[in-house]
Chain A
């Protein structure tokens, strides 16, 4: 390896020397950059939350100062106390949780078999159903809100959380169905056929093969449905009048006044608290959000 031991044949040692160290050197050089990029991305993603936290801890005077820093001068917890007291956040969070969780369960229960049917069964109705799903996404809220309001009023679901659950289910179902259909279609039919050849019935195939492979898809659609229902404002504004039934977005709107007035500190504090349940829900189910379950499942 040294010049003393191998002076007559320079090409071979040269090749070794050139091939190995640069690769290691490249990795040593790029790895910190990769971590730096990752850190930058995390700061980018987390900045809104940090900004919300910083705003929630500032006094009104700091918030309207032209030379205030990102960090609050001192920790001012008054905004949290005032926000909780003024907006009755705990009750509103309970209402939002009830509506969002029930909607998520119903949408998942309906969209799972429906998505499987749309992906697997080739009938004439499939085309019609697909077009309908896409078409239903075209209608803007404002166009349908009055007819929906009248229908719900007739069946006694105005000023009732179940009315909101029904509306959110209808609103989220097409997209959830469309999303889940893609996940089902990505599962090779060969896997189901292999299960059938091994003697499993249709239900067993669905339970033991399809369902586990669909877990990431179910998590993604559940998240979409939960967050959509959790954040929805306009239907809740129109359908809910009883203060005791108001959801979080409605109570957060109380921090806005006429002509651009806003109680920024209290709004930031309330918004931060309102974000926590969504984060917890995401943390609980994100472990299921994995990919590559089907890598190598079928040959070729």
Chain B
């Protein structure tokens, strides 16, 4: 009996110790493609039922048209894709074709885990996407490590009945300036109802993306990913305005600043907030959940002193450098990125196609749904932002930017404290 017990304990020890003694990583096959029939794995992160079905349709069509390049579809999740890929790259078992987003994959690209697919993509796919968006998937040494697919922007949803009741005209036009936005919010605040609800539980991404509208770049990034931080008036313009709306004008519910976008939605649908700021994908949830008779629209893109620019963080399709058939995998991505396919996927997720022909196709197919017009318009001014290429940005975001912004938006620290925490935090890790 004692022997059996010790054998069990020994097995545990042997397993853990032997594991610790091994080194990760495998040699890459980049640049070499096998010839002949191949089966490639494609991990999709599609979430909405209609998008999942659309992805399956695309894969099925491809498989029937391309018997030599068969795609095996697997399903991943956005919450866990990073941890999953870290382990799979280390163990050499990553999927051949990887669905993710540009801010997540640039780190993997730096470590050499993603293949350069620029040489395999067709001229049509390349020309369909703006240079600014291509920049978000291009490394400092010029490798294109993904094809950008769908984009998200921050938009203002409006309860049009609340505007009518308050006697306020619904803003129209090409852009909505922050000043006008603040003014309208004040007019709509009365009787315990707020002009705006904005779920900023995780505020950094929203602030960094919208700061570009005031030329707030935060970082000067070099080719090697090193960066210096600059937090000036332009960078602080967005948090300062949100703070003023919440605590000076009292037109933005401060409670909503502590909640996620999805948590705030019921109060928008319930009439507590006349406007609701969030990712454009939330339009899908509004469509699905709005009470009968609820009238809503999307206002023109929010514009700062530098226009309606926001940072582009597209969803991406990459090829693992460990894939034995990168050329064939890239060929599938080329097909996947066609305007027809992207238009189909964009409508399922209520996201904006990175491809101009796909945006045109969505516009043509959604004429009966007017809210698509401002959503697609908000995708016209997307640009690459320096923070996306700053090597230590993810660490700074989690350890310093998010807690500092949360404290400032909770009215716990001053604007100067916020500036100091953002700057000192970067200095300690940058």
Tell me, yes or no, whether A binds B.
Answer: yes
Please tell me the number of chain B residues within 8 Å of chain A, measured between CB atoms. Answer: 57
Q: Verify B16–A238 contact, CB threshold 8 A.
A: no
Known: A61-B291, A121-B2, A147-B16. A261 touches B281 (CB 8 A): yes
Chain B residues whose CB sits within 8 angstroms of the CB of A234 once the complex forms: 83
A61's closest neighbor in chain B, by CB?
Answer: B289
Shortest Cβ distance from B12 into chain A, in angstroms?
5
Q: Verify A151–B22 contact, CB threshold 8 A.
A: yes
Interface members, chain A 110-155 (any B CB < 8 Å): 110-111, 113-118, 121, 123, 125, 129, 132-133, 136, 139, 142, 144-151, 153-154
Known: A121-B2, A136-B12. A64 touches B91 (CB 8 A): no
Interface centre among A146, A177, A242, A253 (most CB of B within 10 A): A146
Q: Per-position contact with B for A37-60: 1 when CB-CB < 8 Å, else 0?
A: 000000000000000000000001
Q: Is A13 an interface residue (CB 8 A)?
A: no
Q: Is B371 an interface residue (CB 8 A)?
A: no
Known: A149-B91, A170-B15. A129 touches B5 (CB 8 A): yes
Interface members, chain B 187-236 (any A CB < 8 Å): none
**Which of A111, A142, A144 makes the CB contact (< 8 A) with B19?**
A144
Q: Per-position contact with A for B1-40: 1 when CB-CB < 8 Å, else 0?
A: 1101110110111011011101010000000000000000
Q: Verify A129–B79 contact, CB threshold 8 A.
A: no
Q: Is B68 an interface residue (CB 8 A)?
A: no
A149's closest neighbor in chain B, by CB?
Answer: B91
Chain A residues whose CB sits within 8 angstroms of the CB of B13 once the complex forms: 132
Chain A residues whose CB sits within 8 angstroms of the CB of B343 once the complex forms: none
Cα distance A123–B87 in the bound complex, in angstroms: 41
Cα distance A283–B9 in the bound complex, in angstroms: 31
Interface members, chain A 67-104 (any B CB < 8 Å): 67, 82, 86
Q: Is B427 an interface residue (CB 8 A)?
A: no
**Which of A86, A110, A159, A261 makes the CB contact (< 8 A) with B285?**
A261
Cα distance A118–B5 in the bound complex, in angstroms: 8
Known: A110-B8, A129-B5, A145-B87. A257 touches B19 (CB 8 A): no
Q: Is A258 an interface residue (CB 8 A)?
A: yes
Chain B residues whose CB sits within 8 angstroms of the CB of A9 once the complex forms: none
Interface members, chain A 252-292 (any B CB < 8 Å): 253-254, 256-262
Q: Verify B16–A136 contact, CB threshold 8 A.
A: yes
Chain A residues whose CB sits within 8 angstroms of the CB of B88 once the complex forms: 238, 241
Chain A residues whose CB sits within 8 angstroms of the CB of B6 once the complex forms: 114, 117, 125, 129
Cα distance A154–B291 in the bound complex, in angstroms: 55
Cα distance A241–B93 in the bound complex, in angstroms: 9
Cα distance A262–B291 in the bound complex, in angstroms: 19
Q: Verify A146–B90 contact, CB threshold 8 A.
A: yes
Q: Per-position contact with A for B72-109: 1 when CB-CB < 8 Å, else 0?
A: 01110111100110111011110100000000000000
Shortest Cβ distance from A186 into chain B, in angstroms?
18
**Which of B16, B52, B73 makes the CB contact (< 8 A) with A86?**
B52
Q: Is A173 an interface residue (CB 8 A)?
A: yes
Q: Verify A237–B80 contact, CB threshold 8 A.
A: yes
Chain B residues whose CB sits within 8 angstroms of the CB of A146 once the complex forms: 24, 86-87, 90-91
Chain A residues whose CB sits within 8 angstroms of the CB of B270 once the complex forms: 65-67
Q: Which of B256-264, B326-334, B394-402, B411-419 lies on the face that meets chain A?
A: B256-264
Cα distance A237–B76 in the bound complex, in angstroms: 9
Chain A residues whose CB sits within 8 angstroms of the CB of B4 once the complex forms: 110, 113-114, 117
Shortest Cβ distance from A181 into chain B, in angstroms?
10
B89's closest neighbor in chain A, by CB?
Answer: A146
Chain B residues whose CB sits within 8 angstroms of the CB of A121 once the complex forms: 1-2
Q: Is A174 an interface residue (CB 8 A)?
A: yes
Q: Verify B269–A64 contact, CB threshold 8 A.
A: yes
Chain A residues whose CB sits within 8 angstroms of the CB of B261 once the complex forms: 259-260
Q: Is B47 an interface residue (CB 8 A)?
A: yes
Interface centre among A65, A66, A132, A256 (most CB of B within 10 A): A66
A153's closest neighbor in chain B, by CB?
Answer: B91
Chain B residues whose CB sits within 8 angstroms of the CB of A238 once the complex forms: 83-84, 87-88
- In the A-B complex, the 10 residue pairs with the smallest Cβ-Cβ separation, listed nearest first, are A147-B19, A114-B5, A257-B47, A66-B270, A64-B289, A258-B78, A260-B260, A117-B2, A117-B5, A113-B1
A-B contacts, 22 listed (Cβ < 8 Å): A60-B288, A61-B288, A61-B290, A65-B270, A113-B1, A114-B1, A114-B4, A117-B2, A117-B5, A129-B6, A146-B90, A149-B90, A150-B24, A154-B22, A174-B12, A177-B5, A238-B87, A243-B74, A256-B79, A258-B79, A259-B279, A260-B263
Told that A116-B5, A257-B47 touch, could you supply 4 new A-B pairs with CB distance under 8 A? A117-B1, A121-B2, A243-B73, A256-B78
Write the residues of chain B forming the contact surface with A, with a CB cutoff of 8 angstroms: 1-2, 4-6, 8-9, 11-13, 15-16, 18-20, 22, 24, 41, 45, 47-49, 52, 73-75, 77-80, 83-84, 86-88, 90-93, 95, 260-263, 265-267, 269-270, 272, 279, 281, 285, 288-291
Write the residues of chain A forming the contact surface with B, with a CB cutoff of 8 angstroms: 60-61, 63-67, 82, 86, 110-111, 113-118, 121, 123, 125, 129, 132-133, 136, 139, 142, 144-151, 153-154, 158-159, 166, 170, 173-174, 177, 234, 237-238, 241-243, 253-254, 256-262
